[in-house]
Structure 1
């Protein structure tokens, strides 16, 4: 397949190059020397880092980080910390519920969606009540 030399002053060189590449992948012989305007291009080394199986992502932290942030630990499996508000008797409870931290969450599926079970929501409400002196949910 002979293709005129691609130059930037011609319209849509990316489209033409993509079409030539698609044809080449499907088995059409391409004169790359002509396509690239006489520029000699050799094989390019692939980067090796994706194949070294080394993780560079941070692992999720556990609830132990609450104390290091100056917060009071909530001492609860779903809640990391309790933060009393300065201008009232209100308290904010914080935590993270995820399939990674609590694998049992993935067992509760409704219409192909993972939902937090109602019992866990009631447990969170009870724990919030305990924090402010309420001992029941109505």
Structure 2
């Protein structure tokens, strides 16, 4: 059917798909128009990070600190989300939540403090 249609034949698609439950859906008119389908998760679970070899970061934006193997360095890690940090909802640019520059500076300062 598709080859016939591409070849110029007229195909009544409603008859072809009748009884199958198929339906027509609108396509985006703009190539990058999209919708996120992220799974809604409850508040992040707080667990014992030491069991995974991590140390507490003692910081509201960072979850843990771990020393890097074989080098003199550390890795600071954490999770920022609207669920755990509701104030992020106040920082939206063109419909996208962004981390404010002040928070990034705070993370850099904390990293600097952590390594002396």
- For 1:82, what is the secondary structure of its paired residue? strand
Paired residues of 1:106 and 1:114 also in contact (CA < 8 A): yes
TM-score, structure 1 length as denominator?
0.53
- How much has 1:127 moved relative to structure 2? 0.6
Partner of 2:99: 116
Q: Does the 8 A contact of 1:79 with 1:93 survive in 2?
A: yes
Residues 64 and 80 in structure 1, CA contact (< 8 A), matched pair in contact too: no
Aligned equivalent of 1:76:
59
Inter-partner Cα distance in structure 1 for 2:54 and 2:43? 18
- Conserved? CA contact 2:44–2:84, under 8 Å: no
Aligned counterparts of 1:80 and 1:89: Cα–Cα separation in 2: 20
Alpha carbons of 1:128 and 1:71: their partners in 2 closer, same or farther (altered >3 Å)?
Answer: same
CA offsets, 1:75-132, max 9 Å, x none? 1111111111131221100110011110101110112211001111001101110110
Runs of 4+ aligned residues of structure 1 deviating over 6 Å after TM superposition are none
Q: Does 1:19 align with 2:11?
A: no
What RMSD, in angstroms, separates the aligned Cα atoms of the two structures? 2.6
- Find out whether 1:99 has 2:82 as its counterpart: yes
Matches within 5 A, 1:1-138: 18-20=17-19, 59-133=42-116
Match of 1:121, SS? helix
Q: Output the CA distance in 2 between the equivalents of 1:64 and 1:130.
A: 24
1:62 and 1:78 mapped to 2: Cα distance? 15
Alignment match, 2:35: none
